[in-house]
Structure 1
């Protein structure tokens, strides 16, 4: 950096903000998963009987509904999710979509089954800002499977307008002992 650039660089950040993230130990909930169906597990989380995964706290997203073949999250983006151009980073939206796709598939799984994402295709439809308000992401299983499952998801802003959509494929496999 040149001396001139050093002189022009700000030395303090008067608008600096902070955010504290807290979460519960996920291990006790994960230990109970093999003995529950996917739907039972997610509904236990919604009722507060099991802790949410730490990523949910970090991303400010909450699983609010789980029914056979579908899952819904509500999330609250803020400035801490901004990219360099001043809007919510696409990775934030992709993470919420991926979580909803996975949980929708999880609702179809029998006791002793787990899943992981194989691929996700995201379409960003409009920008999201901190002032966009709460976002709702709903995913629906389009094809359940014993080895691979497929699901679709949409995130809508506080006015109900879609801001992003996704399709995904997820690997289904045995978990536990």
Structure 2
């Protein structure tokens, strides 16, 4: 079988469309290990944008109060932001989050949660992202921002 590597954005678009053929790869790992563990699903992707969903279950993802744990919400947002940024990553490049700032607005319980990330400042090395997390009724539950650094050359090696 011949391996064909696509840019990340094209690879993810093909994956979403169900047209990805065996042996078609990209420089990033999709689905990620954490996405498989938590059941995160990419539902939309664009250049510097991504939407990720999870079927939250307070029996698996709950805190002491019986609501979805804020750490899960941070991971959901980080996955959306990382996926959004990965769409512009070239072969030989990688990236890392510099920070993640979450503002929790209201609680969530079991049900579908959707995180939509978009770039607010597309820098050459450091880009800024905004991510809104909503319950399945459309109500916003958290707003998350993050700065992401693109790594090149020796900085990207082994990442």
Gaps of 5+ in 1: 1-31
Q: Decide which of 133, 136, 144 is 2:114's aligned counterpart.
A: 136
Q: TM-score if structure 1 supplies the norm length? A: 0.72
Cα deviations by residue, 1:83-119 (Å, 9 ceiling, x for unpaired): 1221110000000001111111112233332211110
Name the one with the larger helix percent: 1
Aligned pairs for 1:69-88 within 5 A: 69-78=48-57, 79-88=59-68
Give the superposition deviation at 1:48: 7.6
* Deviation larger for 55-64 or 162-171: 55-64
Structure 2 partner of 1:161: 139
Gaps of 5+ in 2: none
Aligned partners of 1:105 and 1:150 also within 8 Å: no
Distance across 1 between alignment mates of 2:10 and 2:115: 20
**Alignment pair present for 1:43 and 2:22:** no
Distance across 1 between alignment mates of 2:44 and 2:99: 24
CA 144–109 in structure 1, closer or farther in 2 if over 3 Å, else same: farther
Runs of 4+ aligned structure 1 residues displaced above 6 Å come to none
